[in-house]
Amino acid sequence: MLVVKKIKNRGKRVLSYVREKQVDYRTRPWKSLTNKGKKRSGRMKSGAISVRRRGGGRKRRYRILNLKALQGEFQVERLEKDPNRSAFIALIKSQDQQYSYILATNGLKPGQKIIFGDNAPIQEGNRTMLKRIPAGSIISTIQLNPDSPAQLARSAGSFAKLMGCEKGFAQVKLPSGEIRLIKQTCYASIGQVSNLEYNAQRIGKAGRRRNMGFRPQVRGKVMNPADHPHGGGEGNQPIGLPHPKTPWGKPALGVRTRRKKTKSNKYILKRRSK
pLDDT tens, 21-52? 678 877 889 999 999 988 888 999 899 999 99
Mean pLDDT of 60-69: 91
User: Are 151 and 66 contained in the same domain?
Assistant: yes
User: Are 81 and 114 contained in the same domain?
Assistant: yes
Burial class (CB in 10 A: 0-12, 13-18, 19+), 260: exposed
User: Are 79 and 128 contained in the same domain?
Assistant: yes
Round to whole Å and give the CA distance between 120 and 129.
9
For every residue of 197-218, which 3-state class applies, written as one string? CHHHCCCCCHHHHHHCCECCCC
Task: Report whether 256 contacts 162 (CB < 8 A).
Answer: no
Task: Report whether 36 contacts 61 (CB < 8 A).
Answer: yes
User: Are 110 and 226 contained in the same domain?
Assistant: no
Residue 255 confidence (pLDDT): 86
For the full predicted model, state whether its pTM sits above 0.75: yes
Q: Give CA separation, 34 vs 30, 37, 273, in Å.
A: 7, 8, 38
Task: Report whether 104 contacts 146 (CB < 8 A).
Answer: no
At 94, the amino acid letter reads S
Round to whole Å and give the CA distance between 8 and 179.
52
User: Are 127 and 186 contained in the same domain?
Assistant: yes
Counting the structural domains of the chain, the total is 2
User: Are 223 and 194 contained in the same domain?
Assistant: no
User: Are 58 and 194 contained in the same domain?
Assistant: yes
Residue 21 confidence (pLDDT): 61
CATH classification at residue 245: 4.10.950.10
Q: Residue 133: give the domain boundaries.
A: 27-35+54-198
Q: Is residue 203 part of a domain?
A: no
Q: Is residue 263 part of a domain?
A: yes
Q: Is residue 171 part of a domain?
A: yes
CATH classification at residue 143: 2.30.30.30
Round to whole Å and give the CA distance between 77 and 51.
37
Question: For residue 67, which of 90, 86, 84, 83 has the smallest C-alpha distance?
Answer: 90
Q: Is residue 89 part of a domain?
A: yes
Q: Is residue 69 part of a domain?
A: yes
User: Are 122 and 230 contained in the same domain?
Assistant: no
Q: Is residue 21 part of a domain?
A: no
Residue 22 confidence (pLDDT): 78
User: Are 77 and 132 contained in the same domain?
Assistant: yes
Q: What is the pLDDT of residues 167-201, one digit of tens each?
A: 999 999 999 999 999 999 999 999 999 999 999 99
> What is the chain's length?
274
Q: Is residue 214 part of a domain?
A: no
User: Are 175 and 63 contained in the same domain?
Assistant: yes
Q: Is residue 47 part of a domain?
A: no
Residue 149 confidence (pLDDT): 94
What's the alpha-carbon Rg for the chain, to the nearest Å? 23
The share of the chain scoring above pLDDT 90, in percent, equals 81
Mean pLDDT of 231-251: 92
User: Are 108 and 160 contained in the same domain?
Assistant: yes
Residue 213 has pLDDT above 60, yes or no: yes
Q: What is the pLDDT of residues 82-126, one digit of tens each?
A: 999 999 999 999 999 999 999 999 999 999 999 999 999 999 999
Query: Can you spell out the DSSP letters for 60-124?
Result: -PEE-B--S---EEEEEEEEEE-TTSSSEEEEEEETTS-EEEEEPBTT--TT-EEEESTT--S-T
Residue 165 has pLDDT above 90, yes or no: yes
CA count, 13 A, side-chain hemisphere, 172: 29
User: Are 65 and 187 contained in the same domain?
Assistant: yes
